[in-house]
Chain A
């Protein structure tokens, strides 16, 4: 077996097909026709990253083939073979680009094909927190559907992101595997070329989070090898094209495991004929460690189920959602007051249903105690309840506190899931995720209507009120310590967040209290305290110590930071931010766009295009990534006049932040219903029309000092 000859033969097949497809595109659409994948600022991402060349038209595709050919030289050394792998990837991308040129929707549900930039950015946080511990790419067809489903579900249960190419997709469908981006099981397409869409995900992670320069292929390879924990599984007989694609994967640092014999290359190319060992083999070869919490309940528990939705028809029981009361509370107790691992249900269980869906009141009180526990950590732990419950297969959790809304699916009920199981999961996750602060934990679930009502009044509401008071007093001026957060450095090595009480991490996931708790949980970890000393400019938010800490934590990449300005040394971002704001000079303000918003904004760019201007730990004055929550903060670009500068937001975002933003505007400027002064896409997107609207509303930005 001559491995290199196999790769060269596979590459030849891609080349032949790519040339044929490009000719077809020229014949049907002409050389000037536009070529692009939906909603990406990096088109075509793989070729762009490798060569630095953007491919925009059918005519450019001919150039792209020439670029790919530059990697073709059939020598006897490994680099020759890997270069043919790279050429194959570029050619596959050309083939896929032609599909999107000839057909607006070449992949129909459930097939995914191309993933948008926003979809990739959404993976950012779970990737850095290792909620997604790895990425599996399954190619081919398993010997039977049960085996396929078993392997996929195993990856799903471990939280991995799984992409499928080939007939394995049908096998997964046949077995009723829950799939979709939210469930981390993504069927790409049936043809091997569609595998390029996951390569594109890895490469764009390098462009987006790593801020790696397009054209610096060596740096991209290093990024993907070191930071994207992907691997490939090939089932059934491989062919030359699959192996050529495998060479591309190996070049990016992704090992492959094949079911059919192949000459092995330790740590890169493995032969595993035993299907029952393929998962363990793959995790080991990519050095993926799964945090195991063995919890004995009848359904699966995995971060991959976090995005699972329970629709009305699939619903067995429902708590909250306006029909019944539902609330949750974590409270700190003395060690002596808690009986560890006591899980109690007070009231009827869900198997007492008289009708389906079964609407019940619900309350859960999680009592925790520990030598290092602090009352400030209560809300941090409590917010995790949302995730813990969502991790349970067939359980959906929305909201928090006394606006919690929980659904349990029929399938999971039939598998035997009961309320005590939810208690078990909460107990186990509290103990494993917060082992440094939680020594003892006890969970009590109430479904008794009178108890739920009474305890809400007596315990929950007063506790929420106390916390709100504490949070209200938690303003930047009142603390002498901020925190660094470098959680994202596994993906964006130069980025560091400074977390203050009024400015949570850009991802929206780390508040000042979270950072404080994280420091307690992992004293040398991602969140480190910084003394707020050496004030240089309080208005812009510049402190010498803070800048020094950023310089250290970013390994010198960023030396100075203004916390409250987006024009002067703004804080950097990783790439997984929820929103990005950018200056609209003619309106003397800024537009904010959230990543779910797909079309163009008044500054002439989409979210993806705006986002590509920043991220990866690079300071770009005038652009800033941030969380949704930050929008209503008094510190939001306060150096430039604050929230009064916001002139445009998508409607959905406006509605989401409306109440809090109105309250802040009232407090800062004594303006009522400020949000109504902000333009959105239902009103206008064109610059002139936006200005007309702002003038008509008397928007405060127009009367502020010139922003630039």
Chain B
């Protein structure tokens, strides 16, 4: 097959040739086998939430079925399908967060899991009005964890973190009755409302979707981020490298893939155990080389500088190198295909989470009580597998880029402090950022996030769009697989300032940052919400007044749907490079891309061409600037 889909990625072509030789199957082979997409599903018009159907609505008005057996219209079906994606995405992020809170509840200064950032713990304790008088760190951590766990199921009240939003935004949520209550409740409630014969009003379904999504952004995701920082350390700027070239020929290579840092952190810890390193040398390797992928890759690179092997679409490529002793996974975004693919090589494919047992994998259950022990065992398995490597099957593309990662909100502010004049301003604020936006030195900011999707050329949308934006003095913050695409393209280096307009270049030089800031994993989009809200509050405005946007050029997961929805619900326009499966309903499409702005001050834009998308983003930014008179 021809792999023109990969024109943007020189390393993959070589590996795909190799795959053919090795008899290995990849996502592109399956894409070809899949042939054309289902036209009804693609438009969101297939309903299979009850057993009367599946029903499918004709996309052509006045021709064919216009209603399902129950009478649900295209509007209802598209809205319900969308809502259920939001619920699933929210569930995924939040369940991840719940695990972190549980880990914090186990925090023990003598145990595997210790509180790393006591300062942040105390700050959050104060924010959540926890009485800390006379309590030691572990006690405070346990009580705060309990409070966090209550956020999932508390019978009354709304999410604690909502107060971080600008007052105007909180009022909008209150007025629309979309302040998220307990996280689990919002997911459950939305699942209930989209059950057969429940809500059919598309607008109402979308409002409930917004409320559920906010339980993700300002609930689950934010807990996931903040509690991970407390337990594993708040990220600070550090160097790393990205792309398959970080896999090393003479090392025991272990790929970490998935999402939950309570697992990956322990693996990082175990990989430093001297006996294991010694063992690796005994089997003839130079040492242990841990490399990351997807959001777990982001978590460990942000906190430890662990090298990034690649993003979502490269999970198969990494195995195709033939140089991985083990692939260790926990939850989310893991191809079931990895099991079969690993069988073509000596690679051990180890699943660890009871939430994500994978057919054909070696299952070694990770449980937090015996965290280090389990991880040591897994690494030992990997080391012992080194001798089984078939060097004739090894091909590591020698391609990698340097990157600076680790821009938590705290680290961003710390960098901004460098340009504060102590005679005119105070430290520890986002005022310098708001100043340069107001002055026009940078025109605005874009959060570029999301996955990879074989519907578009991999990484091409990410990179083309980001380059367009920074060239036009729009600063970019990135998370998830989008961030990894930028890292691989060298956009997270100081040198990348040369690709920027003069204004952004000046900011990069003076603040000492790259033009594209890696803010973490997909739950860490909560950091972006936090940062944007701080700028709005600094100016006494709402998020929707600011010239900032969210973009997901290559999204694919349900989590991304939840994210996009909470981002617009937070007043930030969201540009999607993949059109969501809703276009079968003109009404619902119109709601998301236009009408919703009247309610929340932001809307969705669908644009698959990255150049045109960048132009639309800049037009929208300038529109917001004009409204502000800046």
Contacts and interface: CB of A to CB of B under 8 A. Distances in A.
A336 to B, nearest CB: 46
Given A265-B439, A266-B419, 17 more contacts: A2-B440, A3-B439, A76-B440, A76-B622, A77-B443, A77-B502, A78-B440, A78-B441, A263-B438, A263-B630, A265-B435, A265-B441, A270-B421, A270-B424, A277-B424, A281-B421, A284-B423
A266 B436 contact: yes
B506 interface: yes
A78 B630 contact: no
A269 B425 CA distance: 13
B510 to A, nearest CB: 5
Given A4-B440, A263-B438, A82 B502 contact: yes
A26 B441 CA distance: 40
Contact of B440 (A81, A267, A277, A281): A81
Contact of B472 (A1, A77, A264, A280): A77
B473 interface: yes
Nearest to B419: A266
A76 B439 contact: no
A281 B421 CA distance: 7
A263 B439 contact: yes
B629 interface: yes
A interface majority secondary structure: mixed
A216 interface: no
B421 A266 contact: yes
B435 A264 contact: yes
Contact of B436 (A2, A76, A265, A271): A265
21 contacts: A1-B630, A2-B629, A2-B630, A77-B502, A78-B501, A79-B503, A263-B439, A263-B630, A264-B439, A265-B436, A265-B439, A266-B416, A266-B436, A266-B510, A267-B419, A270-B421, A272-B423, A277-B423, A281-B423, A284-B422, A284-B423
B180 interface: no
B458 to A, nearest CB: 30
Contacts, number: 73
Given A1-B630, A266-B432, A284 B421 contact: yes
Interface residues of A, number: 25
Interface of A: 1-4, 76-79, 81-82, 263-272, 277, 280-281, 284-285
A281 B438 CA distance: 21
B420 interface: yes
8 tightest A-B CB contacts, nearest first = A78-B503, A79-B502, A266-B419, A281-B423, A266-B432, A265-B439, A267-B419, A264-B435
Contacts of B441: 78, 265
A280 B423 CA distance: 7
* Residue of B421, B501, B506, B629 most packed against chain A (CB within 10 A): B421
A272 B424 contact: yes
A268 B432 CA distance: 11
Interface in B89-104: none
Interface in B427-459: 432, 435-436, 438-441, 443
A247 to B, nearest CB: 11
Contacts of B501: 77-79
Interface in B605-630: 622, 629-630
A76 B624 CA distance: 14
Contact of A78 (B432, B473, B510): B473
A3 B629 CA distance: 10
A641 B434 CA distance: 68
B67 to A, nearest CB: 49
Given A3-B440, A78-B503, A266 B473 contact: no
A431 B506 CA distance: 41
Contacts of A78: 440-441, 473, 501-503, 506
A4 B630 CA distance: 9
A77 B440 CA distance: 7
Interface string B485-528: 00000000000000001110010001000000000000000000
Interface residues of B, number: 26
Nearest to B420: A266
B435 A263 contact: yes
A76 B443 contact: yes
Of B420, B423, B425, most buried by chain A (CB within 10 Å of CB) is B423
Nearest to B472: A77
A264 B424 contact: yes
Contacts of B422: 284
Nearest to A272: B424
A547 to B, nearest CB: 35
Nearest to B629: A2
A263 B438 CA distance: 7
A276 to B, nearest CB: 10
A78 B421 CA distance: 22
Contacts of B435: 263-266
Contact of A77 (B439, B473, B510): B473
A482 to B, nearest CB: 39
Contacts of B472: 77
A277 B424 CA distance: 8
Nearest to B443: A76
Contacts of B438: 1, 263
A77 B436 contact: no
Contacts of B432: 266
B618 to A, nearest CB: 9
Contacts of A76: 440, 443, 622
Contacts of B425: 264, 266
Contacts of B423: 272, 277, 280-281, 284
Contacts of A82: 502
Contacts of A272: 423-424
Contacts of A280: 423
B616 to A, nearest CB: 15
Contact of A267 (B421, B443, B622, B629): B421
Contacts of B421: 266-267, 270, 281, 284-285
Nearest to B436: A265
A77 B424 contact: no
Contacts of B443: 76-77
Given A1-B630, A2-B440, A78-B441, A271 B424 contact: yes
B564 to A, nearest CB: 28
A3 B438 CA distance: 9
Contacts of A271: 424
Contacts of A4: 440
A657 B383 CA distance: 83
A233 B610 CA distance: 44
B37 to A, nearest CB: 40
Contact of A1 (B502, B503, B629): B629
B629 to A, nearest CB: 7
A79 B441 CA distance: 9
Contacts of A77: 443, 472-473, 501-503
Interface in B248-287: none
Interface string B388-420: 000000000000000000000000000010011
A626 to B, nearest CB: 39
Interface in B281-322: none
A439 B161 CA distance: 61
Contacts of B510: 266-268
Contacts of A265: 435-436, 439, 441
Contacts of B419: 266-267
- Chain B CB count within 10 A is highest, among A3, A77, A78, A267, for A78
A267 B511 CA distance: 10
Nearest to A82: B502
Interface in B578-630: 622, 629-630
B367 to A, nearest CB: 49
A263 B630 CA distance: 10
B440 to A, nearest CB: 5
Nearest to A264: B435
B324 to A, nearest CB: 45
A157 B438 CA distance: 37
A437 to B, nearest CB: 35
A81 to B, nearest CB: 7
